[in-house]
Structure 1
Amino acid sequence: MSNYQIVDSLTEEVQANRKPEHELAPLFLNRWSPRAFSGRPVSEEDLNTLLEAAHWAPSSYNDQPWRFIVAKTEEQLRVFHGFLTDFNRTWASSAPVLVVIASDKLRENGDPNGAHAFDSGTAWGYLALQATLKGLSTHAIGGFDRQAAREALQIPDNYELHAVIAIGYQGDKNELPEAVRLREVPNGRKPLNEVVFEGKAGS
């Protein structure tokens, strides 16, 4: 039996905080980035499903420049915690899985790949949506010491480090530090007419 969530309606917290201007699948609104994670472990099967989804993202020339470095044991997670900023460590240390997303800046022939970051961002989006279908939460973290992560994880110089992804089941926001707890709601978006322009760029 499939353990996918039925994403045909909005959660209560999303209904209270997100108002789209046009109709779209609830999946896209229900995906948000909480900081409260429970101690419930993520199964190997579910984690692999998320990574499989990310790996099927489109990429320029099908180069698939993304790389995922996964931490799921206590020893591995301690290493990852070591290069997070202090603020992010206060909440991300509760996530049972952390993943560094990096991408190869070069194509197989050695030429620069100008699309590597764009493509890897798409892979992260696929992972995040697949997580929502599995009833899991994700949060992309930009606040980490990239050089320390590169050294700790032995990542070659031709790879750019983009984010650390926290993965797990949403936890109780009341267990977060107060400053973090106040931000624990699905956020909104700018009006569509502020980001979409027809014919030419707006001012």
Structure 2
Amino acid sequence: MTTTLITGANKSLGLETARRLIDAGHTVYAGMRDPANGDAARALGAHIVQLDVTDQASVDAAIAALPNLDVLVNNAGILGTSFGVDDLDADAMRTVLETNVVGIVRVTQAALPLLRSSEHPVIVNVASGVGWPRFLSTETADEFPVMAVPYASSKAAVIALTVQYAKNLPDFRVNVTDPGYTATDFNGHGGHQTVTEGTDATVALALVGADGPTGEFHSRHGRIDY
């Protein structure tokens, strides 16, 4: 049985990823800051673990609670409070980077010993097309209207750190996904994709075989070329 940890798994993309991987036969541990919000994940059959990606003690305790680990899905992320330049300051930037980038590193580093014991270790990081300069600068792209500096910068960093992890861990499959413009709390449920469509790439990359891609950026339509 494949054991999977998903961060930020209490709702939206994380919860749907948990549902789909449980359906695929995975034993899923659903990480979330407040387990009191875990009823939906618990109803799916997920094991709830308290996990705040900004808190090292919380991360260490969550990893210690796992019997083993084969797949890590770094899904947790925040939008932040700055949506332009006039409302931007260093604290707003730091807060988003701490969760969206440093949080991935914190969880991944803590999970590496367990993952290295797996016969087929897989890491999937959830980024966004908002972190892709080509999309941000293409007027017809969904991402073009986004003006937020912290969120876009953090997701660009997630794409880069994924490539670097993949190079450093050649025996792993390490990839990054763009959920696309999906209806979630982030956009007031205004996205034109369902959460199922938004998790297509993440689920597909969580299920890759040992000969699958690594160091790649995928949407539900396939690889996004660098």
Query: Is the TM value for this pair above 0.5?
Result: no
TM-score, scaled to structure 2: 0.30
Structure possessing the higher radius of gyration over alpha carbons: 1
TM-score, scaled to structure 1: 0.33
The answer to which structure, 1 or 2, has the higher relative contact order (CA under 8 A, 6+ apart) is 1
Q: Choose between structure 1 and 2: higher helix proportion.
A: 2
